[in-house]
Amino acid sequence: MMQTIQGIAVSRGIAIGRAVPLGREPIRVRHYLVAPAQVEQEVARLQQGFALAVQQLRQVQQMLTGDDASSELAALLDVHLMLLDDASLLTAASENVRQRRYNAEWALVLQLEQLSREFDAMDDGYLRERKSDIEQLVERVLRCMRGEAAAMGDVLSQPQPDATGAAEVQGPGGELQNLPLIIVARDLAPTDMLQFRQKVFAGFVVDTGGSASHTAIVARSMDIPAVVGAKQASARIRRDDCLIVHADAGLVIVNPDAPTLAHYTRLQQALEVRRQRQQLLLHTPAVTRDGETIELLANVELPSDCPAALAAGAQGIGLFRSEFLFMDRHGQLPDEEEQFQAYRQAVEAMQGRTVTIRTVDIGADKPLSRTEQRHGDEQSALGLRAIRWSLAEPQMFRAQLRGILRAAAHGPVNVLFPMLAQLSEIRQALEQLEMARAELRATGLAFGDLQVGAMIEVPAAALMIDQFLRHFDFVSIGTNDLTQYTLAVDRADESVAHLFDGTHPAVLQLIALVIRQGLAHGKKVCLCGEMAGDTRLTRLLLGLGLRSFSMHPAQLLAVKEQILQSDAKALRNWAEGVLRSEEPLQLIEGEGAELI
């Protein structure tokens, strides 16, 4: 019987194939007390389990091939290795053995439960997703202590598709069909993802995770259809079930009937034809039919992401999220030299194209390590984060600014300050930048000139845009946070996710205001949130006057295709009508936009 499962859309495309369940049920451990004389022996078992887990991960690292998707996996493996190298997890588990005389497995699981509660209390969605990293590491250590094979063994040992990526199975009507494989799992570890790449897998369906989970990150980098947060999918889907994974919609269809399968097969074929057509646009300038030149930039997290941006035709980096250099460091912040080397690597990789580096967006709701996290009401999206945290830590802030300024000596660089809301914050941030310049002059280190910009991601900044534009060379609209703060909807809270709407009239009015005032002042306005890569909104943003988009590299060509088909002048009146509408989305998705 056909059934549908709704999850979270994190990549694009359609996969049709047969289900290959990956059993990752939590390991059940025995609970018993050890004799006093056996305590150190149990601690030694823990230490050996951790050592073997590190050895396994390092062996996996050696399998990486150096392509773009491998760089994503390498970063995730580095995080796992850092967590294993961090003595706090092993030390806490060892104390459970020594003080309570718990057996090693019980002691480790007990510490996992404590850490899980701490991660669940975090406001920041990205960091909450990191709980799964800890769970996977504990599972790996437990398996090492037991001498068991990796969780992937059962999947990789089964019959695999032929060279065309298909395996002969019974279709929904009983006929034999050749279908590629689709992994269905409760959760996926980075090492699992690496092993998937060595086989032929068409897509992924995962019970857990969100848009910031490692599965989502790698799926986007590999451009593979994936749906995460599909609760109970692994329990509802059986081996060899026929699956349709509609990644753009976050939809999984199990055992589709013949008409549904035929419909999605045609849609899949049409999407593939469209992708091939888009690839032909790689070297075509992004110019509208009426001659408006549009800037298409890429969002990146690490210097290793830059080659993918270039391969997608990005004209530069519109958002380098520098906080990824600071996370999971266990309190050891990257110093000026380390940051300079990372920024320089990105600048040189972009071969003369501008790199816009956002200063660290981290704080009370994004603890630098789990041992530093706050609890209760202190941990808030309205707390000490982004520019507030930077201004509260001026030594750290100036070290970052010096690293950025030094990188600007190697190519064009912009600096971008996040979450500004007060004129006092603007003045302080600019003063810190001048102090960083003076410190570099005093040391004789080379540095370059740069453009200075502000993120517009709180309503106060949008409403004060005239004053902001007097102080900055450009502004960049962060639609993710702007939507969150305008609608008072925590974008990391699944219970109110249905209320998070970037096309809400209030959000669109603020975006339009910023673009309009930017044009009036002759200052560039870029849009770097998720809306920039949403092709449903490309024509609306063009009609509102936006001329600079920054997005994930995988979205660039699809947005360029929309731009090439659009007449920006003709879209103006329609866009104004959308702003006046009580139901903007109906007009955006209606036939009116398609006819322009």
Active site residues: 214, 528
Was 437 annotated as part of a binding site? no
**Sign (positive or negative) of CA dihedral 363, 369, 371, 376:** positive
* Cβ 367 vs Cβ 122: under 8 Å: yes
Was 491 annotated as part of a binding site? yes
Structure tokens at 331: 């309190």
What three-state secondary structure class fits 413?
A: strand
Structure tokens at 188: 């996926």
Kindly report the backbone phi and psi dihedral angles of residue 95, in degrees, each rounded to the nearest multiple of 5, phi listed first: -65, -35
Was 591 annotated as part of a binding site? no
Was 481 annotated as part of a binding site? yes
With b for 16 or more beta-carbon neighbours within 10 A and e for fewer, the 370-387 pattern comes to beebbeeeebbbebbbbb
Kindly report the backbone phi and psi dihedral angles of residue 26, in degrees, each rounded to the nearest multiple of 5, phi listed first: -55, 140
CA dist., res. 547 & res. 510, Å (int)? 17
* Cβ 569 vs Cβ 576: under 8 Å: no
Least Cα distance to 348 among 437, 283, 400, 408 occurs for 408
* Cβ 14 vs Cβ 225: under 8 Å: yes
CA dist., res. 15 & res. 274, Å (int)? 15
With tokens 């976050």, the residue in question is 250
The angle formed by the CA atoms of residues 29, 30 and 33, to the nearest 5 degrees, is 135
Long-range contact pairs involving 106-110 (C-beta distance under 8 Å, separation at least 24): 106/29, 106/30, 106/31, 106/32, 107/42, 107/46, 108/46, 108/49, 108/138, 108/141, 108/142, 109/29, 109/138, 109/142
CA dist., res. 549 & res. 556, Å (int)? 9
- Residue 157 makes CB contacts below 8 A (sequence gap 6+) with none
DSSP string, 208-258: S--TTSHHHHHHHHHT--EEE--TTHHHH--TT-EEEEEGGGTEEEES--H
With b for 16 or more beta-carbon neighbours within 10 A and e for fewer, the 132-147 pattern comes to bbbbbbbbbbbbbbee
Q: Which residues are annotated as a binding site for phosphoenolpyruvate?
A: 321, 358, 480-481, 491
Q: Which residues are annotated as a binding site?
A: 321, 358, 457, 480-481, 491
Binding site members for Mg(2+): 457, 481
